[in-house]
Structures are given as C-alpha cells and as structure tokens.
Structure 1
Amino acid sequence: MFLLDSNVFIDAKNRYYSFDVVPGFWEWLDQAFLGSVLCSIDAVREELLAGSDELSDWARTRKAFFREIDQPTVRHFAVLSEWARGQNYQQAALDEFATDRADFLLIAFARQYHFTVVTLEKSNSRKRNRVMIPDACKAMGVPVCDPFQMLAESMVRLDLRSQAT
C-alpha cells in the first residue's frame, strides 16, 4: 500500500494534475483509496487544510482517506528519533524533523504497516540542515518512491481517448 506525503498532493494540484485540467487523477486517488491501494495520515490532511483552495476542499471532504496515528505506530518514534540524532544533523534540522509532525509520523506509520512512502523529496544524505524523507525511510527499512513510480506500479491510465474532441 502507498502512503502519500503532502507534497504529492500539493505539487499535483499546482503543476501537472490540476483539478480543472486532470480531474481523472483525483478520481483515481479516490478509487485507489477505496481499493486499499493508497492513503495518507491525519498530519498530512492538517497541512492540506491549512490552505484555502480546491485542495483543502478536497481533503476536507475525505477524512477517511487520512488515517489516524495509532498506538502501534508510536512504538517506532524512539527508533526514528534515535536514528536522526545519530546522523550528525544540525540541531535545527533535528528540531524541525521532530516538530514537522507529518514527515516524522508518515515514516513511523509506514514502518508499522509496511507501506511505501510516496514523496517528491530526494535523498541527500550529505546535507545536514534537513532530514529528508527518503534518507529516514532507508534507515527505517521503509520503501519510498515518487508519485510517477506509484502510478506506474499501479498501472494507472489517465486516458482521454474516450472524450469527444
């Protein structure tokens, strides 16, 4: 199962899958959720609700799409925090990682449920001013991919051929 980071939704809305141009992407997200292919977490929903646009409206009407963090997930917090502290990150990066609830919780949740994290972030293990999701995922044994890999693995076809021209 895929677990989506907030940047997947935000970048899709702002760039290549806007609601008015590619509504099929958003429809597929709904279908994939109902088919237990993907979901996200409450902390991501909170980030999306902070806006005042189509994306916040979309997230507002899909509470079930975003799972709550549960007790089994909490048991991964210490391991994840310990890993981050052991990586020579700057203190500001550690503070941000600990307080940026969505990234931290996304990784812990994915580890607990053996999900693949979907994000647009790229690994940058040499940079010490920010903990990147792919680096933390790798350390925790959590698979990670970008949204285009997710679409390919899911064999998604957003086909316009059936539409009249």
Structure 2
Amino acid sequence: MSTGSTYCLDANVLIQSWQKYYNPRLCPDYWNLLSQLGAQGVVFIPGEVQREILRTEDELADWLKTSSIPVKPINTKVTQCLGEIYGAHPSHQTLVDNTKGRSLADPWVIAHAMADNAVVVTKEEKVNAANAKRIKIPNVCEAMSVRCIHDFEFLEELGVRFGCSMIT
C-alpha cells in the first residue's frame, strides 16, 4: 500500500469528502483509513488547514480533533517556501480569496509540501483560462515543481479499494 511518498492534504479533500463523497454514515472506512495513514506518517495537514476546518464547529471538526492525522506547524523552512511561492509569479498572490476570506490555507498547503518534499492532494482543478480571477493550487504546484494530485488519484496510488455491505 505504501508508495514511499508523503501527502499533504488540502482542506477541500476532507470537507467535500465528508459532505459529499464519503460521508461517514455511508463510508466510515474512508475516515478510518485517513486516520491510519496519519498514524503511519503517510498523510499530514498544515495547521492552517486544521484551523480552516475547526472554524466550523461540526462533526468533521470533531472527527479531526480525534484523528491521528499529524498537524504540522509553520516553521522557518515553510515560511521560506511561502516566500518562494509568492516571489515566483504575481498571480500566486490570488491563491487566497481576500474578498471572501476563503482559501486561506492554500498557499500554506503548497509551502508545507515544498518544505517536506510531499505530494499535494486536492480536489481543485487547474485553471487554464488566462482571464481567471484566481489561480488554483494545481497551477501553483506546477509552477513550483510540486507534485499535485486529485484525491481519487491519491486513493488509486495507494491501492485503496472500498467494499460495500448492508447493515442488517
């Protein structure tokens, strides 16, 4: 199951999976797996992702508080990587949606991945339009030579297979 890679999870991987794809009432194994991968050091989240999720006091926040997913703090190397990201191109400033206070963790996800030589896992899709108002994580990862994959690719890469059963 191990690829030897470490994966840095974007907040949307947890939020959208909880709300849509792998709701724990239907797919508790997904959440058990993520916690197990955290305990094994395969996945982690930046502290900024944790803050983004804990802002909404809900069941996902409760789960995250008890999961084994490591939460990495900002350190000097991460801060240097963030400076490299913002210095590489002016468009990288648009990772954060300042008007709505969204995506605050996005640049930190990439900076942590750079600092730890990790793979970014996100649900975001690359923006190809030159007139896009905001750049996305995959665009910046590509510019910074950071490997970035969709969460379904992440599961495939780890060889994850889910089974179904009925509660009787």
Q: TM-score, normalised by structure 1?
A: 0.86
- Tell whether the 8 Å contact from 1:7 to 1:120 is kept in structure 2 after alignment: yes
Trace 1:72-151 onto structure 2 (pairs within 5 A): 72-85=77-90, 87=91, 93=94, 96=97, 100-125=103-128, 126-151=130-155
Distance in 2 separating the partners of 1:55 and 1:95 = 23
Match of 1:65 among 67, 70, 76: 70
Moved more, 55-64 or 22-31: 55-64
Distance in 1 separating the partners of 2:9 and 2:37 = 12
- Tell whether the 8 Å contact from 2:43 to 2:69 is kept in structure 1 after alignment: no
Q: What is the aligned partner in structure 2 of residue 28 from structure 1? A: 33
Report SS of the residue matched to 1:96. coil
Give the gaps of 5 or more residues in structure 2.
1-5
Q: What is the aligned partner in structure 2 of residue 157 from structure 1? A: 161
Report SS of the residue matched to 1:76. helix
Q: What is the aligned partner in structure 1 of residue 3 from structure 2? A: none
Report SS of the residue matched to 1:7. helix
Distance in 2 separating the partners of 1:155 and 1:63 = 20
Are residue 17 (structure 1) and residue 18 (structure 2) matched? no
- Tell whether the 8 Å contact from 1:76 to 1:112 is kept in structure 2 after alignment: yes
Give the helix-richer structure, 1 or 2: 1
Q: In angstroms, what is the RMSD of aligned CA positions?
A: 2.3
Report SS of the residue matched to 2:45. strand
Count of residue correspondences: 159
* Letter in structure 1 aligned against 2:40: G
Question: What do residues 68-113 of structure 1 show as CA deviations (whole Å, max 9, x unaligned)?
Answer: 121111111222112231x4x7x8x36637x744111111111111
Q: What is the aligned partner in structure 2 of residue 51 from structure 1? A: 56
Distance in 2 separating the partners of 1:103 and 1:115 = 15
Percent identity between the two aligned chains: 29
TM-fit CA distance, 1:131: 1.9
Report SS of the residue matched to 2:126. coil
TM-fit CA distance, 1:36: 1.7
Q: TM-score, normalised by structure 2?
A: 0.84
- Tell whether the 8 Å contact from 2:95 to 2:106 is kept in structure 1 after alignment: no
Distance in 2 separating the partners of 1:127 and 1:120 = 21
TM-fit CA distance, 1:50: 1.1
Distance in 1 separating the partners of 2:61 and 2:131 = 32
TM-fit CA distance, 1:119: 0.5
Distance in 2 separating the partners of 1:94 and 1:24 = 32
